[in-house]
Amino acid sequence: MEKLLYEASLEGNLNMLLMLLQEDPLILDRVTLDRHGDTPLHIASMLGHVDFVKEVIARKPQLAMECDSQKRLPLHIASAKGHVDIVKALVSANPETCFARDRDGGNPIHLAAIKGCCEVVKELVEAKPHAARAMVQQETILHLCVKHNQLEVLKLLIETMSDHEFINTKDAHGNTILHLAVADKQVQTINLLLLNTTIEVNATNMNGETSMDILAQVPRDLKYQQIMQSLTRAGAVETYTQASFRQVPIKYHKKPRYLREELTENDDWLNRKRSSLMVVASLIATMAFQAGTNPPSGVWQDDSSNNPLRKAGFAVMPSNHPTLYHIFLVCNTVGFVSTLSIILLLISGLPFLKHKVFLWVLMVIMWIATASMSITYSVSIWVLTPTPQSKSFRQVAGGIVVVWIALMTLLVVGHTIRIVAVAFRKFEKLVLPRKRTISSPIVINHAEI
């Protein structure tokens, strides 16, 4: 009959269970006395037989406290497998099973977190929140989530129990969860911790290393750059101790610091320039739109049968100054489209936007926009100023605009020459070391030593 009971638990055969209980009401008690290992409740919990589990618990709720050879309760197994309904049934039978530990010291919520079973973790946290704060071998459940790269479970735990002390708990080696995430280059986890928690970015472990020191020891790739930028924005710093120098060569430490400082300064400078360009482009676009919809001299208020161009709502300027109106319209449109292009490029978030060459391209577009708006202004003054009284003023205003455009042209040419010179120097640095390598191998060997 015991063999039939185990077969019923494997298949989840509820009818067979009821038949066996009818023939022998003590069969469940007899199984727990005679065998040491997986009980029928363990097996059914592992395979997800919900009805079978509920029937066993209803008849013998104390079976929920029976351990297998690994000291695991049925709740441990159901949690690790992600069977939410079975977890609910077992917790309802005995909520204290949430605190039970297996041979490795883990309780059911620890196993569910390691396996990434979010719904089970949510159910267990709601049932017994303190079970999630228990430590396993001096590691919190947050450490387990990061070590096993379970981001969704980590998000859930941070949302439900993200107090400062718990987030910054250290393991046996003094590492916070940020240390572990940086060592494993988990970009999304690092951003989650920096943006949504009160994690201490400059906390040190037992070796005196901060998260930035840990980053200096990992291979450099695209994830390295992303993590570097995130930590730098969060105010992370390096703390070079004797222990960290023993683990990593000295030359390995010095070079990253220089590169990071240069990268940070360039990023800050480019960010400021992009912000300024965005403000100026928005202002010029607004001016161009206003000038286009409200041209100089205004619009006709009524229709005229003698002049086909004179209709209510049409601009007055085409009738009085057709050539100047054409120049005005072209220049204003060029300025408007140029500034809109700048705005669109800045908000697009394309990766090449972080280079100085792209900033030079934006500056050229801005020069086109400002030059066009200057001509638009000059045409407007020319149209709105009476000829007999202010002919000299027209000439002075036009001369000022021409001089200003010439100065801006010199500025663009100067920046162009500077960019070309920088590009030439970089090309020269790439070529010259190769020549020295061929002619002076002793120098290279000395540098390598």
What pLDDT does residue 404 have? 73
Q: Look-up: residue for tokens 């710093």?
A: 237
Q: Which residues of the chain have pLDDT under 70?
A: 34-36, 240-271, 305, 308, 349-357, 386-398, 426-427, 429-449
Q: How many CB atoms within 10 Å of residue 432?
A: 10
Cα–Cα dist 137/101, whole Å? 12
Chain Cα centroid distance, residue 374: 42
Place of tokens 């704060």: 133
Residue 412's DSSP bridge partners are none
> How far is C-alpha 308 from the geometric centre of its chain's CA atoms?
60
Whole-structure pTM value = 0.53
Q: Which residues of 379-407 are buried (b: 16+ CB within 10 A; e: fewer)?
A: bbbbbeeeeeeeeeebeebeeebeeebee
Nearest-CA neighbor of 85 among 58, 42, 35, 50?
Answer: 50
> What whole-number distance in Å separates Cα of residue 400 and Cα of residue 395?
9
Give the model confidence (pLDDT) of 130-170 as tens digits: 999 999 989 999 999 999 999 999 999 999 887 889 999 99
Residue that has been written with the tokens 């209980």 in this structure: 21
Place of tokens 């003094």: 174
pLDDT of residue 26: 83
pLDDT at 244: 41
Q: What angle do CA 158, 164, 166 make, to 5 degrees?
A: 65
Q: In the prediction, which pLDDT does 253 show? A: 40
Question: What is residue 238's predicted lDDT score, i.e. its pLDDT?
Answer: 80
